[in-house]
A = this chain, B = another copy of it.
Amino acid sequence: MSIRTMSRFAWFLRPERQGFPQRFSIAGARVLCAVAVFSPAFLHGASDLGAAPSQGGEFVNTLMPQPSSLTVQSGAFPLNGALTVCFTGVHDKMLDDAVARALGQFEEETGMAMSGAPACGPAQAQLQIDVQHPAEAVQSIDEDDSYSLVVGKDRVLLQAPNDLGALHGLQTLLQLVQEQAGGYVFPAVSISDKPRFKWRGLMIDCGRHFEPVPVILRTLDGMAAVKLNVFHWHLTEDQGFRAESLRFPKLQEMGSDGLYYTQSEMREVVEYAHARGIRVVPEFDMPGHSTSWFVGYPQLASGPGPYHVERVFGVHDAAMDPTQESTYVFLDAFIGEMAGIFPDAYMHIGGDESNGKQWLANPKIRAFMRKNGMAKPADLQVYFNRRLLAILKKYHKHMVGWDEILAPGLPKDAVVQSWRNLDSLRMGTEEGYHEILSGPYYLDHMESAEEHYLADPLPANSGFSAAQENLVLGGEICMWGEHISAQTIDSRIWPRAAAIAERFWSPAGVRDVNDMYRRLWVESLRLDALGLEQISGPQRMLRELGGSASPTELEALASVLEPVSFGQRYSLQKTDQLTPLNGLVDAVVPDPPARHAFAESVQNYLATSPANQNDQAALEKLFGSWRQTASKLEPFMQSSPRLVGYAARAQELGQLGQIGQEAIQYLNAPAGEPSDWEKETLARMDAIHEERILVRFAILDPLRKLVVAAGASRSHLQ
């Protein structure tokens, strides 16, 4: 296909066209007004927090992840219309499609038609793509992801050893577009880039809650945009068996409530991912977390049936029976079938949280253990894993499993995914196993982007040997499924996953949190334009919760709240699979933009002496708006069946506004502060901090700093 028709249409081509057309936009050289991204209502009280003047004519680095090397040149390449592209090396379908998608995104970004540019030779090309080798038919963990990108004033040169690097380079080019002098340009830069880790994954648990195919596809778009390259697909759980088997159809027919991926859908996902430089590693969790298998096939289980799809979350006793040969006959056939769908060299067998209770309760299994000298269930699991490994080998798969598979006798080509912590990672590498770190990257814990970002798979002070370091393949972000639905998953994954993606890709020294947040909100807008719903989804849910009479203040309150941690929600709400996930806790987002923006403005305010009057006025306006929001919103929430349980937070927002006002007052007149004010205020804030409700304030820490500063200013005076 020529570029002419490609540029407008090819990104629709099968299998991609099932999804929505690629859409893209970028902030370019406009400098971010961070909070405006999500909460205009909030910002009516604080529209200058975090803002900076727009800078025309200079390169503003909004790349995410940051490249390993970047040199800024003077000048820029103007985007004046359809871009001419030529390929001076490899020119295959993977590249064609990637260029077509990129042109479609340029069109979205600039509003200029990108169709109609004729195919051309290198001499006329504005974008020259020079690739040495095609990508492997099945993407390998060892393929070279590197690329270089040189933007000159009349020409862009993208070079890569293979297609994968070119795909990454195109993503970087998309992030380079910026406004300049009334038009769009690529600023002249010279980039040489390659990833720090070769395994940069995102796991999604589709077992506990099913995620429709379009959700998976748009997530893959987002992953490609930030250079993640492994989609780890957790397909089976106690609560659902999501992969269609033709050999054993009762797996999905009886174990999924009808919510499963057909084989053609799984193939579509694999193909869609491959086209974007992403490997798909499926997980079939065994021997525990497997209740859903037993609904249709109770003979696989270690205990008597009948079984039903499990609604309750947590660790269940049901486990496969590793002592009967029929289990392995079944698994051989099943894994063989799945190996035909998932071509990746790795297959994940779970292995986590098998508590052994059903084994110990079964006399036949106890006898087997005695006979084979197995003292404890973990020994039996080692046996099970060895048998599994032989099956995987038969189908040319390497085994991946969670921490628990690490046990004596585990072959060295298995990969251990560490969900615990750096210590378990250390232990695995000491014993010579390849490891993937996931512990610090659990999105369902509702931590900030900052916390995830600063957790390094190989911290500078970890004391790992060079050999150990080489065994750490990378990291995986985990999106567990207890509390997510198709409506909320995007706002749980994005934009935080983009910050973690930078941790996996960029040099270890890239750790400036403020700069990360500055770029993160720009990246969030780009992901929004791609069709991800981390902005639009929460907005829609707030419209539903508020109804037609909703005051705009509901959005203002929501913008400073976030969900409580996974564990806290689980214990407060006693959630199970049937719990509706459409309360305010589901509509607010973890680490909302307002948190860091407020933290920065408090920091700036306190760092300047005498205080900058504009900074102070902005804070005063903000605190005033919190009080106004509270007084307008609380009665509304009290009368709303779906919001009444959260109404206390509205009232508390007013208290926080008052605390902020007092702090500023006392900072300006320290002697006037009552002697116990700081202590009492911090105690009041501790009470507000208590997680009695499903949502918590995201802005308490910076406010505490302000209170402490007000207190300190007084003690300083005394």
Q: Give Cα A531–Cα B543 distance, bound, in whole angstroms.
A: 12
A525 in complex: contacting residue of B5, B111, B212, B543, CB < 8 Å: B543
What B residues does A285 contact at CB under 8 A?
none
Please list 18 pairs of residues, one from A and one from B, whose beta carbons are closer than 8 Å in the complex, sorted by A's number.
A18-B212, A20-B214, A23-B544, A31-B548, A32-B549, A36-B548, A36-B549, A36-B551, A36-B552, A37-B543, A40-B41, A40-B555, A43-B552, A108-B544, A109-B544, A111-B583, A528-B540, A535-B540
A17 in complex: contacting residue of B5, B259, B535, B539, CB < 8 Å: B259
Q: Give Cα A27–Cα B212 distance, bound, in whole angstroms.
A: 28
What B residues does A486 contact at CB under 8 A?
20-21
A212 in complex: contacting residue of B20, B32, B536, B642, CB < 8 Å: B20
Stoichiometry, as copies per complex, reads 2
Q: How far is the CB of A104 from chain B (nearest CB, A)?
A: 10
In residues 14-40 of chain A, which contact B (Cβ within 8 Å)?
14, 17-21, 23, 25-28, 30-33, 36-37, 40
Interface-located stretch among A63-71, A178-186, A386-394, A423-431: A178-186
In the complex, are the beta carbons of B108 and A257 less than 8 A apart? no
In the complex, are the beta carbons of A111 and B582 less than 8 A apart? yes
Interface-located stretch among A112-120, A328-336, A364-372: A112-120
Q: A21-B212, A27-B549, A179-B640 known; 13 other A-B pairs, CB under 8 Å? A: A9-B257, A9-B259, A13-B258, A19-B214, A37-B543, A40-B40, A40-B552, A108-B582, A110-B641, A110-B642, A113-B580, A528-B544, A535-B540
Q: A578 at interface (Cβ–Cβ under 8 A)?
A: yes
**Among A12, A14, A19, A56, which residue has the most Cβ atoms of chain B within 10 A?**
A12
Q: Give Cα A30–Cα B641 distance, bound, in whole angstroms.
A: 12
Q: Give Cα A255–Cα B20 distance, bound, in whole angstroms.
A: 20
What B residues does A639 contact at CB under 8 A?
54, 56, 179, 182
A86-114: contact bitstring with B at CB < 8 Å (1 yes, 0 no)? 00000000000000000000011111110
Which residue in chain B gives the minimum CB-CB distance to A550?
Answer: B36
Q: A463 at interface (Cβ–Cβ under 8 A)?
A: no
Q: A419 at interface (Cβ–Cβ under 8 A)?
A: no
In the complex, are the beta carbons of B641 and A548 less than 8 A apart? no
What B residues does A540 contact at CB under 8 A?
528-529, 535-536
In the complex, are the beta carbons of A549 and B25 less than 8 A apart? no
A31 in complex: contacting residue of B10, B112, B549, B580, CB < 8 Å: B549
Q: A319 at interface (Cβ–Cβ under 8 A)?
A: no
A539-580: contact bitstring with B at CB < 8 Å (1 yes, 0 no)? 110011101111110010000000000000000000000111
What B residues does A9 contact at CB under 8 A?
257-259
Interface size on A, residues (CB 8 A): 83
What B residues does A579 contact at CB under 8 A?
113
A35-77: contact bitstring with B at CB < 8 Å (1 yes, 0 no)? 0110011011001000100101000000000000000000000
Q: A485 at interface (Cβ–Cβ under 8 A)?
A: yes
Quick one: given A487-B23, A580-B107, A641-B183, are A525 and B548 in contact (CB under 8 Å)? yes
Quick one: given A27-B549, A536-B540, A548-B30, are A641 and B182 in contact (CB under 8 Å)? yes
What B residues does A341 contact at CB under 8 A?
none
In the complex, are the beta carbons of A258 and B521 less than 8 A apart? no
Q: Give Cα A548–Cα B55 distance, bound, in whole angstroms.
A: 13
In residues 510-525 of chain A, which contact B (Cβ within 8 Å)?
521-522, 525
Q: A127 at interface (Cβ–Cβ under 8 A)?
A: no
Q: Give Cα A17–Cα B20 distance, bound, in whole angstroms.
A: 17
A577-597: contact bitstring with B at CB < 8 Å (1 yes, 0 no)? 011101100000000000000
Q: A644 at interface (Cβ–Cβ under 8 A)?
A: yes
Q: How far is the CB of A463 from chain B (nearest CB, A)?
A: 41
Dominant SS among interface residues on chain A? loop
Q: Which residues of chain A have a CB within 8 Å of any CB of chain B? A: 5, 8-10, 12-14, 17-21, 23, 25-28, 30-33, 36-37, 40-41, 43-44, 47, 51, 54, 56, 107-113, 115-116, 179, 182-184, 210, 212-214, 257-259, 485-487, 521-522, 525, 528-529, 535-536, 539-540, 543-545, 547-552, 555, 578-580, 582-583, 639-642, 644
In the complex, are the beta carbons of B212 and A547 less than 8 A apart? no
A44 in complex: contacting residue of B5, B18, B44, B583, CB < 8 Å: B44
Q: Give Cα A533–Cα B513 distance, bound, in whole angstroms.
A: 35
Q: Give Cα A40–Cα B269 distance, bound, in whole angstroms.
A: 39
Q: Give Cα A258–Cα B6 distance, bound, in whole angstroms.
A: 10
Q: How far is the CB of A486 from chain B (nearest CB, A)?
A: 5
Q: How far is the CB of A264 from chain B (nearest CB, A)?
A: 10
In the complex, are the beta carbons of B33 and A549 less than 8 A apart? yes
Q: How far is the CB of A314 from chain B (nearest CB, A)?
A: 19
Quick one: given A113-B580, A528-B543, A583-B111, are A548 and B32 in contact (CB under 8 Å)? yes
Q: How far is the CB of A9 from chain B (nearest CB, A)?
A: 4
In the complex, are the beta carbons of A12 and B539 less than 8 A apart? no
What B residues does A12 contact at CB under 8 A?
210, 257-259
Q: Give Cα A272–Cα B601 distance, bound, in whole angstroms.
A: 52
In the complex, are the beta carbons of B528 and A27 less than 8 A apart? no
What B residues does A549 contact at CB under 8 A?
27, 30-33, 36, 51, 54
Q: How far is the CB of A628 from chain B (nearest CB, A)?
A: 12
Q: How far is the CB of A364 from chain B (nearest CB, A)?
A: 33
Q: How far is the CB of A231 from chain B (nearest CB, A)?
A: 20
A642 in complex: contacting residue of B14, B111, B641, CB < 8 Å: B111
What B residues does A8 contact at CB under 8 A?
257, 578
What B residues does A108 contact at CB under 8 A?
544, 580, 582
Quick one: given A548-B525, A552-B44, are A641 and B580 in contact (CB under 8 Å)? no
What B residues does A525 contact at CB under 8 A?
543-544, 547-548
Quick one: given A41-B40, A111-B583, A179-B640, are A578 and B547 in contact (CB under 8 Å)? no
Q: Give Cα A27–Cα B9 distance, bound, in whole angstroms.
A: 41
In the complex, are the beta carbons of A548 and B27 less than 8 A apart? yes
In the complex, are the beta carbons of B547 and A25 less than 8 A apart? yes
What B residues does A18 contact at CB under 8 A?
212-213
What B residues does A36 contact at CB under 8 A?
548-552
Q: How far is the CB of A138 from chain B (nearest CB, A)?
A: 25
Q: Give Cα A214–Cα B21 distance, bound, in whole angstroms.
A: 11
Q: How far is the CB of A221 from chain B (nearest CB, A)?
A: 14
Q: Give Cα A265–Cα B622 distance, bound, in whole angstroms.
A: 52
In the complex, are the beta carbons of B547 and A26 less than 8 A apart? yes
What B residues does A28 contact at CB under 8 A?
547
Q: Give Cα A9–Cα B260 distance, bound, in whole angstroms.
A: 12
Q: Give Cα A172–Cα B641 distance, bound, in whole angstroms.
A: 22
Q: Give Cα A210–Cα B550 distance, bound, in whole angstroms.
A: 36
